[in-house]
């Protein structure tokens, strides 16, 4: 019998679907839940029966995360951890991988909402909505001149990172007429919705063309601080940045300076080096900058989509089939 560790809230909402998934998989399972008291611990006997675990959204956002991972550290038979997160740059996931535990994510569950937010930011910046919002607050009627609004059609968008989120951004961007250049490190697969596809090594030659730069990559040693003063200086004057990746992918002081100087014409930022964004951060008051609180993926259907990926993987796991969204190194 395989012990599955999850939360009581997850079972309350998805328990019936989980039971159907285990039945479809032909898996005899024991459902083990994290104690509702953050100070309580599972018994050693319970931990010894845990073979797989689901790190659900209520655990991520609540006080029981410590209890959840405490149980996993004491689970000698644990072989697979599935997390509701798409990103796994937290050190705890690296420690799980170091134990030889298979790690999978719900990557793709929030891809469409995040991509829609990124494109909403792009359109708002392109059409001057921050200036209109400022004028509205001042009750000022300030029409823009035609020449102050460059046509978006045929402008170039470089999407750095073509996972589920980056691919969704690229698909929507092409639909509204942008020329989309995708950048990804792994070999190309058929069907990428881009006009051009390049390896990250080509980035220096792509930045001078990037009127728009969308960051949708994981935070790794290679991407940390990758976009700084040199990158922004290489972009066309007045270019824009959309960051729905991770805050530390960008050198924040360099970004602020590029925005202040006008080298960058604006930015949509959902992620930051420090979160919550400090009240005294100059980013709050920069013109032509749209800030959202690491919330670009908020959407009612996310949990159901994430749970569906877990249930699909559960059937695959029981049959020895390849799992979806396998992470091979922390930060992917």
Active-site residue set: 246, 275, 294
- Torsion angle of the four alpha carbons 270, 274, 277, 278, in this order, in degrees rounded to the nearest 10: -170
Question: CA triplet 257, 263, 268: central angle to 5 degrees?
Answer: 75
Question: CA triplet 31, 35, 38: central angle to 5 degrees?
Answer: 150
80 is written with which tokens?
Answer: 């697979």
Q: How far apart are CA 258 and CA 290, in angstroms?
A: 15
What are the beta bridge partners of residue 267? Answer: 241, 289
The candidate with the shortest Cα–Cα distance to 227, out of 194, 252, 209, 250, is: 250
φ and ψ at 144, to 5 degrees?
A: -90, 150
Are residues 64 and 34 in contact, defined by beta-carbon separation less than 8 angstroms? yes
- According to the 3-state scheme, what is the secondary structure of 187-198? CCCCCCCCCEEE
Q: How far apart are CA 297 and CA 325, in angstroms?
A: 18
Give 13: exposed, middle or buried? Use CB within 10 Å, 0-12, 13-18, 19+.
Answer: middle
The answer for residues whose C-beta is within 8 angstroms of residue 278's C-beta and 6 or more apart is: none
Element (DSSP H or E) covering residue 19: helix 8-24
Give 297: exposed, middle or buried? Use CB within 10 Å, 0-12, 13-18, 19+.
Answer: buried
Are residues 313 and 296 in contact, defined by beta-carbon separation less than 8 angstroms? no
């Amino acid at each position: 019998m395989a012990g599955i560790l999850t939360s009581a809230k997850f079972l309350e909402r998805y328990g019936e679907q989980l039971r159907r998934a285990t039945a479809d998989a032909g898996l005899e399972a024991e459902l083990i839940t994290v104690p509702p008291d953050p100070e309580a611990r599972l018994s050693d006997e319970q931990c010894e029966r845990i073979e797989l675990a689901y790190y659900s959204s209520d655990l991520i956002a609540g006080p029981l995360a410590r209890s959840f991972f405490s149980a996993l550290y004491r689970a000698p038979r644990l072989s697979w951890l599935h997390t509701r997160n798409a990103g796994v740059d937290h050190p705890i996931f690296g420690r799980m991988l170091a134990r030889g535990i298979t790690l999978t994510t719900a990557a793709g569950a929030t891809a469409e909402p995040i991509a829609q937010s990124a494109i909403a930011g792009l359109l708002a910046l392109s059409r001057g909505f921050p200036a209109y919002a400022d004028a509205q607050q001042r009750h000022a009627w300030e029409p823009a001149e035609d020449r102050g609004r460059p046509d978006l059609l045929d402008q170039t968008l470089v999407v750095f990172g073509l996972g589920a989120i980056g691919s969704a951004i690229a698909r929507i961007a092409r639909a509204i007429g942008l020329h989309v250049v995708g950048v990804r490190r792994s070999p190309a697969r058929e069907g990428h919705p881009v006009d051009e596809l390049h390896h990250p090594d080509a980035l220096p030659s792509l930045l001078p063309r990037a009127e728009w730069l969308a960051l949708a990559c994981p935070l790794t040693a290679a991407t940390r601080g990758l976009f700084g003063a040199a990158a922004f200086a290489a972009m066309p004057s007045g270019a824009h940045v959309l960051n729905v990746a991770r805050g530390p992918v960008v050198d924040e002081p360099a970004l602020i300076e590029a925005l202040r100087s006008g080298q960058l014409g604006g930015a949509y930022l959902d992620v930051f080096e420090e979160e919550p964004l400090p009240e005294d951060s100059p980013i709050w008051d920069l013109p032509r900058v749209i800030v959202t609180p690491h919330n670009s993926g908020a959407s009612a259907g996310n949990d159901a989509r994430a749970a569906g990926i877990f249930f699909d993987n559960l059937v695959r796991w029981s049959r020895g089939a390849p799992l979806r969204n396998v992470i091979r190194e922390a930060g992917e």
